[in-house]
């Protein structure tokens, strides 16, 4: 409400609002204001999954295990957080919980809380509180507290990747008692975690305020308060950063980067994220005359676009086109830097392939969500012209939301794929996102039907625990995917930020902004 205090601020506030740098409190720790473009509607760990909430999650939730980007740029080193030790015994993983860790309501984090966090009631049972958790807990059949500070996870098959999976959303520990008391919806509006900051205020259409949590078990938060404030207009974000009202801003449009870099008191940083904007071909006979059911036309379109040049034109050297799909640098041992792409830019070959089809130049509808992926629309414009050169007529249909994008008829559809679910393993983009249970294969807007061969290899891949066996199956699965060519990965996403001088900030590969520990230093 518009309170008397607000009125006083407005009427007698004499401080110069502009030009005031970050404010320090009596203890000497500053308040940091981060101007963001949006906030998600709920901050429940799974129901609230989004780029905008992930940005904030690691500041007030504590993970069981964290990807360590300080000692490895790809985050493939796993760092103990609430889970201090873990051991595998066949299908059972045994974990120890750190003692003395407090939730923000003062209660101690116990194995009971962790078992609930990962358990069937919340994630993978018949009617879980956060049903999307099933995606991340495939194969779980028992999660149980075996002592006050120990718990076990048992899976249907041997799963070597459980610790890696706990680095993700499912590993954000919630307090069982409070969660059950208020229910998931209210929890998402007033979440309690065990991270270095606690939630003071959350108004999803306006602001989220976090205060330092001084009972945090680890290194104390460097800022007394973090204010994540929605400033929809980029000019206002930029002006606020340059004038000292904000300490951080996010999502700088790529055509504005040069201008921003021209200001002396601000630093621009960017890094690639474990996510790939892409498009899916509609490979199904829906509409009935869909020419893209012919794999030759799909392959022609991949050969017909010069993706490395498109990416360079739009992003400079900030990112790249993954010429071999699923061969991503963040996959560590799975990544082959010398892998040769099968489908390179070759307009003549593309024309020859088009000739093999019955395609006669009829328009193909490319459904694109307006302004959802940075630079997607400009890329589409260039690609459409390149396709025109090989005789393929694509029309970009820019739509306001995914509901409209999903409405048939369409021939191509925008999408993106994350690669971060299991650190260093291609399980998510290859199998989780394209397998027979993926939304891409099951939803009303599905774009393909995985081939029996793909399903067979994928099932074996998902169960393989030996690295060599897993690698071979991964390559076979990738080959089968390329034989069908149900889509094209365009580039590795780029996230960017700018902050005032006097801050050292280390971004990580997801969009999360870790405003603590080695990731944020203030001077």
Partner 1 sequence: MLRFWLVKLLRATVTLWLVVTSVFIVLRTSGDPVQSLLPPDATIEEIEQFREAWGLDRPLTEQYAKYVVNMATGDFGKSYRDGRQVTTIIAERVPWTLFLGLTAYAVAVLLGVPLGILAAIRRNTFVDRLIMSFAVFGFALPNFFFGILLILLFSLNLRMLPSSGTGTWMHVIMPAATLGLTTAGALARFTRSAMLDVLGKVYIRAAAAKGVSFAGRILRHALPNAAIPVVTVMGLNLGALLGGAIVVETVFAWPGVGRLLVSSVSSRDLAVVQALVLMIAATMVVANLTVDLLYGVLDPRIRVASKD
What residues make contact with partner 1 under the rule CB under 8 A? Answer: 1-2, 6, 9-11, 13-19, 41-42, 47, 49-50, 127, 131-132, 134-135, 185-186, 188-189, 203-206, 229-233, 235-236, 238-240, 242-243, 245, 400-404, 406, 415, 439, 442-443
State whether residue 388 is helix, strand or coil: helix
Evaluate whether 297 touches 390 at the Cβ level (below 8 Å). Answer: no
Residue 10 tokens read as 């407005």
Closer residue to partner 1 in complex, CB, 9/388: 9
Q: Taking a C-beta distance cutoff of 8 angstroms, is the pair 480, 454 a contact? A: yes
Nearer to partner 1, 392 or 415 (CB): 415
Q: How far is the CB of 202 from partner 1 (least distance, A)?
A: 8
Least separation, in Å, of the C-beta of 36 and partner 1?
11
Residue among 273 and 297 whose Cβ is closer to partner 1: 273
Nearer to partner 1 among residue 239 and residue 396 (C-beta): 239
Residues 6+ apart with CB under 8 A from 271: 494, 495, 496, 507, 508, 509
Rounded-to-integer distance, Cα 194 and Cα 113, Å: 11
Closest CB to partner 1 among residues 126, 288:
126
CA 267 remoteness from chain centre: 24
| Nearest distance from C-beta of residue 398 to partner 1, angstroms | 14
Residue 358 structure tokens = 């019955």
Strands (E), 150-239: 150-155, 197-203, 207-212, 225-230
Token pair belonging to 436: 């027979």
Q: How far is the CB of 144 from partner 1 (least distance, A)?
A: 24
State both tokens at 87.
């051991």
**Residue 107: CA count within 13 A, CB half-sphere:** 15
Pick between residue 416 and residue 475 the one whose CB is nearest to partner 1.
416
Which residues on neighbouring strands pair with residue 208, listed in sequence order? 202, 228
Taking the C-alpha atoms of residue 142 and residue 154, their distance in angstroms, rounded to an integer, is: 5
Alpha carbons 513 and 214: distance in angstroms, whole number: 20
Is 371 or 395 the residue whose CB approaches partner 1 more closely?
Answer: 371
We find the least distance from the C-beta atom of residue 340 to partner 1, in angstroms, to be 31
What's the closest the beta carbon of residue 334 comes to partner 1, in angstroms?
23
- Give the helix/strand (H/E) hosting 239: helix 234-243
Closest CA to 78 of 87, 95, 65, 62: 65
Q: How far is the CB of 424 from partner 1 (least distance, A)?
A: 22
**Nearer residue to partner 1 within complex by CB, 177 or 229:** 229
Strand boundaries in 235-310, DSSP class E: 248-250, 266-272, 275-281
Rounded to a whole number of angstroms, the minimum distance from the CB of residue 280 to partner 1 is 12
Nearer to partner 1, 71 or 201 (CB): 201
Minimum Å gap between C-beta 50 and partner 1 is 6
């Amino acid at each position: 409400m518009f309170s008397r205090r607000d009125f006083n601020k407005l009427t007698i506030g004499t401080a110069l609002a502009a030009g005031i740098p970050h404010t320090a409190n009596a203890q000497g720790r500053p308040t940091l204001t981060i101007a963001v473009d949006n906030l998600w509607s709920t901050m429940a760990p799974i129901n609230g999954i989004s780029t905008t909430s992930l940005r904030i999650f690691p500041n007030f939730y504590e993970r069981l295990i964290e990807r360590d980007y300080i000692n490895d740029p790809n985050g493939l080193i796993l760092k103990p957080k609430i889970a201090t030790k873990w051991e595998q015994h066949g299908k059972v993983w045994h974990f120890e919980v750190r003692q003395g860790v407090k939730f923000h309501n003062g209660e101690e984090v116990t194995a009971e809380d962790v078992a609930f966090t990962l358990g069937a009631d919340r994630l993978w049972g018949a009617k879980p509180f956060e049903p999307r958790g099933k995606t991340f807990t495939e194969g779980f059949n028992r999660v149980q507290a075996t002592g006050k500070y120990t718990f076990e996870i048992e899976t249907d098959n041997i799963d070597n990747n459980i610790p890696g999976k706990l680095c993700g959303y499912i590993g954000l520990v919630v307090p069982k008692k409070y969660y059950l008391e208020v229910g998931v919806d209210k929890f998402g509006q007033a979440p309690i975690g065990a991270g270095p900051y606690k939630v003071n205020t959350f108004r999803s259409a306006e602001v989220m305020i976090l205060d330092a949590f001084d009972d945090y078990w680890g290194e104390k938060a460097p800022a007394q308060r973090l204010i994540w404030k929605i400033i929809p207009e980029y000019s206002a974000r930029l002006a606020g950063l340059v004038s000292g009202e904000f300490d951080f801003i996010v999502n700088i449009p790529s055509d504005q980067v040069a201008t921003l870099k021209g200001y002396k008191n601000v630093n621009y940083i960017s890094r690639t994220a474990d996510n790939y904007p892409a498009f899916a071909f509609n490979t199904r006979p829906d509409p009935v005359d869909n020419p893209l059911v012919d794999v030759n036309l799909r392959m022609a379109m991949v050969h017909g676009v010069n993706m490395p040049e498109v990416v360079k034109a739009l992003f400079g050297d900030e990112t790249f086109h993954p010429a071999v799909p699923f061969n991503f640098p963040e996959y560590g041992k799975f990544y082959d830097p010398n892998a040769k792409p099968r489908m390179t830019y070759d307009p003549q070959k593309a024309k020859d392939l088009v000739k093999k089809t019955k395609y006669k130049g009829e328009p193909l509808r490319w459904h694109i969500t307006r302004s959802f992926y940075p630079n997607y629309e400009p890329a589409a414009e260039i690609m459409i012209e390149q396709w025109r050169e090989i005789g393929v007529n694509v029309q970009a249909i820019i739509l306001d939301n995914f509901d409209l994008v999903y409405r048939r008829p369409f021939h191509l559809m925008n999408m993106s794929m994350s690669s971060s679910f299991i650190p260093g393993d291609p399980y998510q983009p290859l199998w989780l996102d394209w397998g027979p249970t993926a939304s891409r294969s099951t939803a009303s807007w599905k774009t393909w039907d995985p081939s029996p061969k793909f399903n067979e290899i994928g099932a074996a891949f998902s169960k393989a625990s030996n690295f060599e066996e897993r690698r071979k199956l991964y390559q076979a699965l990738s080959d089968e995917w390329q034989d069908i060519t149900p889509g094209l990965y365009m580039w590795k996403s780029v996230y960017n930020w700018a902050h005032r001088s006097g801050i050292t900030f280390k971004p990580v590969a997801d969009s999360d902004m870790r405003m603590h520990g080695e990731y944020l230093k203030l001077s």
